[in-house]
Amino acid sequence: MDFTVGSALNFGWETFKQRPWFFIGASVVIVIAYLVVGGVSTGINAALGGSSEEPTLIGSSVNFGLSTLVGMGAIAFYLAAHDNPDTVELSALWHPQPFLRFLGASILTGLAVGIGFVLLVVPGIIALLFFMFTTLIVIDRGLGPIEAMQESMRIGRGFRWPLLGLIVLLALILIVGAVALLVGLLVAMPVTTLAFVHAYRVLSAKAGLAPAAADARLGS
């Protein structure tokens, strides 16, 4: 199967249409989870004399840790939804392992992209394209941060321009979804995420990675 921006977006839309209310419900759960995390960290900051503008170290740490768990669950859910859209359940949103590897990968990729954008915009875009699949690989394959970053670079080799086009298009869809109020965003979130995961799956297969290993990983 060849990778194109159109094929990835089409997959996301067609998969969403199979169970639209289920995917909208999953989006609601994810949004609520992030809101709860924000509420908990705000409460901790207030109790310790901090604020949203000046959060405490404990409040910030709790926010980062809990947000990481929510992000891990969202990635695991959409990997499972891509592979088994008819049978995936909301329970797939709970996927706390491997926490430390995911945390490390998130920090390293965030630093790489952030430093790239601070120095010059182009290095930031390049870093984003290099490491865009890193956290998916950690959840999917259980690799460490450095290995996952290297693997992300490998599977995207030769497809940088199409991947850049995909990122831009998915970002525009999310913006339009946000403008169309909450309902639009609840549709845009699953469609764009499924399209992104599809790009990862197709490029992984082209790079010689068997999907069976991924399914086994997610099921553990």
pLDDT tens digits, 28-56 = 999 999 999 999 999 998 898 888 778 89
Q: What is the pLDDT of residues 153-183, one digit of tens each?
A: 999 998 999 999 999 999 999 999 888 777 7
pLDDT of residue 212: 40
Cβ neighbors of 16 (< 8 A, separation 6 or more) are 23, 187, 190, 191, 194
Residue type, 105: A
Place of tokens 């309902």: 183
Burial class (CB in 10 A: 0-12, 13-18, 19+), 75: buried
**Is the model's pLDDT at 199 over the cut of 90?**
yes
Q: Give 18's pLDDT tier (boundaries 50, 70, 90).
A: very high
- CA-based nearest residue to 134, from 160, 108, 116: 108
pLDDT of residue 219: 46
Q: What is the pLDDT of residues 85-136, one digit of tens each?
A: 999 999 999 999 999 999 999 999 999 999 988 887 888 999 999 999 999 9
Question: How many residues appear in the chain?
Answer: 220
**Is the model's pLDDT at 216 over the cut of 50?**
no
Token pair, residue 10, equals 């089409």
